Amino acid sequence: MQRIDKYEQVVGKSKIDELKMLAGYLKGKVIQHINSTAMGGGVAEILSKINPLMQELGVNTQWDVIKGTPDFFDVTKSIHNALHGKEAIITEDMWKVFNDVSSMNIREMNLYGDIMFIHDPQPIALIKRKSRMKNSKWIWRCHVDVSGPDKDVWGFLEKFVNKYDAAVFSSAHFAHKMKARQVLISPSIDPFSDKNRELTQKEMDAVLNKYKIDPQRKPLVCQISRYDALKDPVGVIEAYKLVKKYVDCQLLLVGNRATDDPEGDKIYKQVLEAKGDDPDITALMVEDIPSEINTFQRVSDVIVQKSIREGFALTVSEALWKGKPVVASNVGGIPLQIKHKYSGMLCHTIEGAAFSIKQLLNAPEYARRLGENGREHIKQNFLLTRHIREYMLLFLSLYSNKDVVTL
């Protein structure tokens, strides 16, 4: 049995048969994904799950990562923040760093895809190679919330975006007027990955012992995210402190480092300062071990995602898939996943987050029902089989009928 067949248990045989059929139409085409980190963050997470499955379906899917200097990632982090509407000053010198590193990648990277699938702003300038790659099709996949970007920064990127054949966004709110064809495709999670599969009690106990976390001691509230100001970990601590006045609970913050995110250590330091000597707060900086994240999500009583801006928030999908009650900000892709008071709780402020966390800790049966609805919503909409289907349809749509067998 192929691994792909296992997904039949979750989504049904007809969906898997359809994937096999679509993959057949892509025979002979090479898809080359390019992003800026092999590890850390949602993009790497998705590519590491989607690619092996598409390869198994017979689609030649490859993944390469651009090279960057620390200066370059400082600039691209500022671009990222500015796209999220955060004030950011990008000087002439910074644009020069962006252009110089882009030129180096344009010169040196081995680009060979029939379909070039470029993720996020960091590698966006690679489109300059398009004219030298006859018949190649180019997709720009934007994982960022660009609903209210800094105009100058968007204006700079737009010149590149307009040269792509298609631009993919995670939410309709992120659409812009542009020359490239716009496509709406939401991200997804893999229900059988180590991050999402069922775990045995023994597996979870090993993780809890390693980090000395006892979920039985007090109700456990948890946020798992890169240490990034836009994920607002300090705001989570403030919300926890408000909850704590009424419900004796403990808080777990978990984050990792992404090679393309230079701000992690700075924000982690702020978190440690905000935590102070509260023995009920644990703030971990961890290596990427998916079964550990899985454990933290499964043993929590309430999962929080108090982002200020958010592309999609896979962490919300992961938590809902595990049937957990989630309190998350009403930003970016989060409202696609949470319908307020049905599949989780949406919040706008620290006080709002605290109010919902308190409510869920006090009403476990209500919390359980929200989690159950959330799991069903993820099953229907955000599993990787749906994602792969939409990507394959997008690839096929890039060709006129003469290049690819008609559907």
Point out which residues bind ligand UDP (CB under 6 A). 41-42, 45, 195, 224-226, 254-256, 286, 288, 293, 311-315, 318
C-alpha distances in angstroms, 72 versus 142, 209, 229? 19, 39, 19
If the CB atoms of residues 29 and 322 are measured against ligand UDP, the closer one turns out to be 322
The smaller minimum CB distance to ligand UDP, of residues 195 and 387, is found at 195
Q: What is the DSSP letter of 133?
A: S
The smaller minimum CB distance to ligand UDP, of residues 242 and 286, is found at 286
Comparing CB distances to ligand UDP, the nearer of 61 and 305 is 305
DSSP letter string over 51-77? HHHHHHTT-EEEEEE----HHHHHHHH
Q: What is the closest distance, in whole angstroms, from the C-beta atom of residue 43 to ligand UDP in the complex?
A: 6
Residue 194: CB minimum distance to ligand UDP, A: 10
Smallest gap from Cβ 203 to ligand UDP, in A, equals 16
In angstroms, what is the minimal distance from the CB of 286 to ligand UDP?
A: 5
Closest CB 365 distance from ligand UDP, rounded Å: 27
Cβ-based nearer residue to ligand UDP, 136 or 188: 188
Alpha carbons within 13 angstroms on the beta-carbon side of residue 261 total 26
The span from the CA of 243 to the CA of 354, in Å, is: 5
Distance CA 384, CA 19 (A): 11
The residue number whose beta carbon is nearest to ligand UDP equals 42
Distance in Å, CB of 205 to ligand UDP, minimum? 20
Amino acid 82 reads: A
d(CA 78, CA 262): 10
Judged by beta carbon, residue 165 or residue 318, the one nearer ligand UDP is 318
Q: Which residues contact 82 (CB under 8 A, 6 or more apart)?
A: 88, 90, 149, 150, 152, 153
- Tokens 């300062």 sit on residue: 273
